[in-house]
Amino acid sequence: MKKIYSAFLAAAIFGAATIPAAAFTGVSDWAKPSVNQAIAMGIVPDSLQDTQASKAISRAEFCEVAVGLYESISGQTASTNTVSPFTDTDNEVIAAASALGIVSGRGNGLFDPYSTITRQEFCVMLCNVTRAIDGKSNIVETNLIANFPDGDMVESWARADVETIIHDEIMTGILDLDGVTRLKPLATTSREQAMVMAVRFADHYGVQNDGQQETDNDYIIPEEDDMTQSPDNDIETPENGNHDYETPEDEMQDYEIPYNPILPEEAASLTKEERLIRLFGKDEIGFESQEQAESAMTEITVPVWRLQSDGSKRVGQMTLNVNANLALVYQAIFEEIFSGNEQFPIKDGGSYAWRTNTRSEHRWGTAIDLNWNENMECYIDELGNVTQITTGSYWQPEEDPYSIPADGDVVRAFAKYGFAWGGDAWTSKRDYMHFSYFGT
């Protein structure tokens, strides 16, 4: 791997505002100055060439950015003569980042290169860059997280690093449509957002410019509050299939549905009418168009258990495109499932999808389907016998670990927050994969 930062690039940075953001497509206006600067600095890896700027950055992609930051700040070249400790990637830059202590794997020898990273993980990786440079923690003891209404969602292992990154004004929060700035630690980071914060990081900690004379810049780095954030089926999926679906918040300025998030503690107690007002801004269910529906969605990343071929389980992540006003509730539900004694494994998950069926809650982002092949949708007769399978193959909770038990952690978690389960909600139909906020 070549040393990323050079005297030429150091000089080029001062004219960054005139360099085209060629590495990405669809760069937002607020991000262009920083993306241009990142390109000039040489911290935008080849893997991001011609990729969509608003999409969530993957673990592998940000690994390369982080190593670029290490080299540009320290003036040292990261060694690529390192054997990869991971079995699911032979990327030499990931191996170098691991050797430097910038990143670690998911366990069982896996790195999970194509999954996205959450904003709190982003903070930890940035702080790991500084530790790799000078061996110090650089931790700042503050309580700035408390300034954000969702600050308590930052997990304990990431809290100190998140505090430090906030203190250094590298991450400033995201201004939501209700005028409240939130930290959103479990949300993903888009590629262009990553570039903005990487440039702030380099600016804060300084870069080695090989003796080049620094001059004033003529660009302005926009505040992250002006950025958009969309949660990832980075899920990737598909949402989930939806992993790759992302609705940047900067594209939500024409959002017609009021942002009035339902809090987890009130989700189950709201009446149908109250739910309608909170989710759709009116006492009628649904959206007027697909465009309106998609503008009302946001992407979240939640922790899940992944089942391995040897029967063991490892920690993973799933990204879902959901109704923005239900995002906090969904996050609480999946946190409970993840923390449950069953460690229920999830391989498929999906929420929003525009469908022709006007009664489908997937049109509204108020329903979730999980592990669809092992949790079939079917019709039953008066005796409960299956007469026709319409989706999936079977439901065998006693035999298949992916089938959802009727009395298990998944059903209990959704029920706690006011969701109905398709496994017992209707008389003539069973939809074992399906959980919905309005019971349809």
Residue 137's pLDDT is what? Answer: 57
Provide the pLDDT for residue 51. 84
- Judged by average pLDDT, the poorest of 20-34, 216-230, 364-378 is 216-230
Sequence-ordered alpha helix ranges (H) in 75-185: 92-100, 119-134, 156-167
In one-letter notation, the amino acid at residue 344 is F
* pLDDT value of position 174: 83
Confidence at residue 217, expressed as pLDDT on a 0 to 100 scale? 33
CA end-to-end distance (rounded Å), the chain: 54
Give me the mean pLDDT over the 341-363 stretch.
90
Predicted confidence (pLDDT) per residue in 123-144, tens digit:
999 999 999 987 765 566 678 8
What interhelical angle do 191-205 and 59-74 show, nearest 10? 20
In sign, the C-alpha dihedral spanning 301, 23, 19, 4 is: positive
The 3-state DSSP class for residue 319 equals strand
Summary mean pLDDT of the chain: 80
Nearest CA to 218 out of 37, 40, 53, 69 is that of 37
Tokens 């100055």, residue?
Answer: 33
Per-range mean pLDDT, top range of 102-106, 215-219, 230-234, 296-300: 296-300
Higher pLDDT, 49 or 378: 378
- 336 versus 136: the higher-pLDDT residue is 336
* Residues 6+ positions from 106 with CB-CB distance below 8 Å: 112, 314, 315, 316
Q: Across residues 232-261, what is the average pLDDT?
A: 41
The mean pLDDT value for 251-260 works out to: 56
* Strand positions, DSSP E, 51-202: 51-52, 174-175, 181-182
Asked if pLDDT for residue 214 goes beyond 60, the answer is no
Q: How many residues does the chain have?
A: 440
The pLDDT of residue 46 = 82
Instruction: Tell me which of 110-119, 215-224, 254-263 is least confident.
Output: 215-224
- Give the pLDDT of residue 345: 96
Q: Please report the pLDDT score of residue 140 as a whole number.
A: 62
Structure tokens at 440: 């349809």
State residue 6's pLDDT score: 35
Span 261-274, mean pLDDT? 93
Per-residue pLDDT band at 188 (split at 50, 70, 90) = confident
Give the pLDDT confidence score for residue 177 in this predicted structure: 65
Q: Which of 176-185, 321-330, 418-427 has the lowest mean pLDDT?
A: 176-185
Question: What does the pLDDT read at residue 334?
Answer: 94
Report which of residues 113 and 226 the model is more confident about.
113
Q: What is the pLDDT of residues 390-436, one digit of tens each?
A: 999 999 999 999 999 999 999 999 999 999 999 999 989 999 999 99
Report the percent of the chain where pLDDT is more than 90. Answer: 35
Residue 298 predicted with pLDDT over 70: yes
Q: Mean pLDDT across the stretch 262-278? A: 93
- Residue 194: pLDDT above 50? yes
- pLDDT value of residue 255: 40
Provide the strand spans (E) within 132-202.
174-175, 181-182
| pLDDT, average across residues 354-363 | 86
